[in-house]
Amino acid sequence: MNTMLKLGPAGAFGALALSGLPAWAQEGPIKAPTVEQMAGMVDKGDTTWMLVSSVLVLMMAIPALALFYGGLVRTKNMLSVLMQVFMIVAVVAVVWVVYGYSMTFTGGGPFVGGLSKMFLAGVGTGTYAATFSNNVYIPEYAFVIFQMTFACITPGLIVGAFAERIKFWPLMLFSVLWVTAVYFPVAHMVWYWSGPDFLSDNTADAGYLWGMGALDFAGGTVVHINAGIAGLMGCLVIGKRVGLGKENMAPHSLTMTMIGASLLWVGWFGFNAGSNLEANGLAALAFINTFVATAAAALAWVLVEQFRHGRPSLLGAVTGAVAGLVAITPASGFATPMTSIILGLVTAPVCYIFVSYVKGKLKYDDSLDVFGVHCIGGIVGAIGTGIVAAPSLGGQGWVDYSVFPAVAGTFDMTAQVITQIKAVAVTLVWSGGVSFLLFKGIDMVFGLRPTADDERQGLDQTSHGESAYNL
């Protein structure tokens, strides 16, 4: 299995080794360095990049995601959506430092980490986290923060599936249980490993899917498929909105939705390029791939609309952009700008079909298309990653960290695609199953849905006692 050990692109590899330039570059890299040695392997440029990336990802959640969603609901529910996304960030941030980081990023098993770092025990200004290059480290707090922003935004994505008809506190409870039972384990499976300077000593010290060789540069499975399938379960358990199909449920402010989508695009560079953990040419590759895949997807969606309805819509443009961002997420560090464009062009129509037809046919009320965009787009991207990563297509391939120093691994596209599909399946089953049980359970115990009258009057007034606008 260790021959399959991989993560992180290899193409940039030679360059990296060179540009890393640790003081002792001369003597070659140090295996399993001590913390004192790590202190000398930190580049402030990387630290700055990780802190900035964290800022960008937080901005993706608040205000970006909140506005993207909020603009799509009716005025009477605007605040409920803003509130849900905002408080999920707050609650999960606390959970993350209490036990989330430990469950996700300590060893312990292939499926979930341990509790040794509960309350961030042992983490300090003088401890460091590994990157994907030998002998390159970042302050551990910076890593904790960056990963925290991912945990904070993911459950926020789910709320779009049952927007306009959910009770606040039961949703908060769900979010805590969901990150605990779904997000932390899945993130551990995909992203946990002991690092390039340590893995070769114990190649088993890694998460299940990581060890399996699944490639997910920035969280296509962990974030999007994970949240997307959970959303579907949610809207199935909760049921349709009162008046669906009868009343006009047009977005109350596409202006807000456009602001949200734009800031999502802007912030996503922290999400994808930040996931490289280093500010180098590979981060720049992830950045440009994210940029053009999104552009291509927005364009594709608008063209589909032009052909289907004779008119391109702003909502179509921004929805396409988000679909592109979702799809490129796992591939961003592996593809080339050109293959990224193709990935974007392919993803948009697929999501369009789910959003505009499948949903209507299957009659589930995924209010803001969390499943159609995030889960479907995530799946296309996750599987596509297995293709665009191929060195034969200019892709970055994978790095074999089972040897020290790490070397480029040999790429087998078929095998890789199969591995990707396995990873997708595991995520769908785990997240779909557990999410369904959580929704059902909470619904039975506390009830997830407000009364029809409250839903009619709107959640802003009935759940929060406020109005979004008093113009």
Partner 1 sequence: MKMIIAAIKPYKLDEVREALTTIGVRGMMVTEIKGFGTQSGHTEIYRGAEYAVNFVPKMRLEIVVADSMTDTVVDAITKTARTGKIGDGKIFVMDVEKALRVRTGELDDDAL
Instruction: Scan residues 247-306 and list those touching partner 1 (CB under 8 A).
Output: 247-251
Do 63 and 258 meet the contact criterion of CB atoms below 8 Å apart?
Answer: no
Q: Which is nearer to partner 1, 214 or 373 (CB)?
A: 373
Bridge partner residues of 128 (DSSP): 139
Collapsed DSSP state (helix, strand, coil) of residue 416: helix
Query: Is the CB of residue 273 less than 8 Å from the CB of residue 291?
Result: no
- Mutual angle of helices 337-353 and 376-388, in 10-degree steps: 150
- Closer residue to partner 1, CB minimum distance, 440 or 456: 456
List the interface residues with its own copies, window 101-140 (CB under 8 A): 119-120, 124-127, 139-140
Rounded CA separation 412/289 (Å): 22
- Burial class of residue 183 in the structure, from the number of CB atoms within 10 Å of its CB (0-12 exposed, 13-18 middle, 19+ buried): buried
- In whole angstroms, the minimum distance from the beta carbon of 341 to its own copies comes to 6
Interface with partner 1 includes 243 (CB under 8 A)? yes
| Residue 456 in the binding site for partner 1 (CB under 8 A) | yes
Among residues 167, 160, 301, the alpha carbon closest in space to that of 228 is found at 160
Q: Are 60 and 263 within 8 A, CB to CB?
A: yes
Nearer to partner 1, 26 or 246 (CB): 246
The listed partner (its own copies, partner 1, none) that binds 341, CB under 5 to 8 Å by sort, is: its own copies
| Contact (CB, 8 A) for 347 and 378 | no
Q: Which is nearer to partner 1, 3 or 457 (CB)?
A: 457
Binding segment for partner 1 among 219-227, 230-238, 312-320, 412-420 (CB under 8 A)? 312-320
Is residue 313 near partner 1 by the rule CB under 8 A?
A: yes
E-assigned strands of 295-400?
399-400
DSSP-assigned letter for residue 137 = E
**Is residue 18 within the footprint of partner 1 (CB under 8 A)?**
no
Closer of 19 and 313 to partner 1 (Cβ): 313
Q: How many residues bind partner 1 (CB under 8 A)?
A: 26
Please give the Cα distance from 186 to 208 (Å, whole number). 9
Hey, which residues between 345 and 374 contact partner 1 (CB under 8 A)? Answer: 352, 355-357, 359-360, 369
- What is d(CA 152, CA 94) in angstroms, rounded to the nearest whole number? 10
Look at residue 355 and give the partner it binds from its own copies, partner 1, none, a contact being a CB closer than 5 to 8 Å depending on partner kind.
Answer: partner 1
Minimum CB distance to partner 1 smaller for 13 or for 352: 352
Q: Which is nearer to partner 1, 119 or 357 (CB)?
A: 357
Residue span 158-187 as binding mask against its own copies, x where in contact by CB under 8 A, dash where not = ----------xx------------------
244 touches its own copies by CB under 8 A:
no
- What does DSSP assign to residue 391? G
Burial class from Cβ neighbours inside 10 Å (0-12, 13-18, 19+) for residue 377 reads buried
Q: Which stretch binds its own copies (CB under 8 A): 178-186, 268-276, 379-387, 411-419?
A: 268-276
Among 2, 106, 262, 356, binds its own copies (CB under 8 A): 262
- CB count within 10 Å of CB 355 equals 21
Stretch binding its own copies (CB under 8 A), from 187-195, 310-318, 353-361, 368-376: 310-318
Kindly tell me the sign of the dihedral angle through the C-alpha atoms of 424, 426, 430, 436: positive
Question: How many whole angstroms separate alpha carbon 81 and alpha carbon 323?
Answer: 21
3-class DSSP assignment, residue 429 = helix
Q: Kindly tell me which of 93 and 249 has the beta carbon lying closer to partner 1.
A: 249
Rounded CA-CA distance 174/411 in Å is: 40
**Residue 437 makes contact with its own copies by CB under 8 A:** no
Instruction: Answer with the entry of partner 1, its own copies, none that 281 interacts with (C-beta below 5 to 8 A by kind).
Output: its own copies
Out of 30, 56, 163, 327, name the contact with its own copies by CB under 8 A: 56
At 88, list the tokens: 């999920």
| 130 to 159: interface string for partner 1, x by CB under 8 A | ------------------------------
Segment interacting with its own copies (CB under 8 A) among 47-55, 208-216, 402-410, 411-419: 47-55
**Residue 54 engages its own copies in binding (rule: CB under 8 A):** yes
Contact by Cβ (8 Å): 322, 68: yes
Distance CA 55, CA 46 (A): 14
Contacts to its own copies from residues 339-358, by CB under 8 A: 341
Q: Which residue has the tokens 């913390």?
A: 35
Residues in contact with partner 1 by CB under 8 A are 243, 246-251, 309, 311, 313, 315-316, 319, 352, 355-357, 359-360, 369, 456-457, 461, 465-467
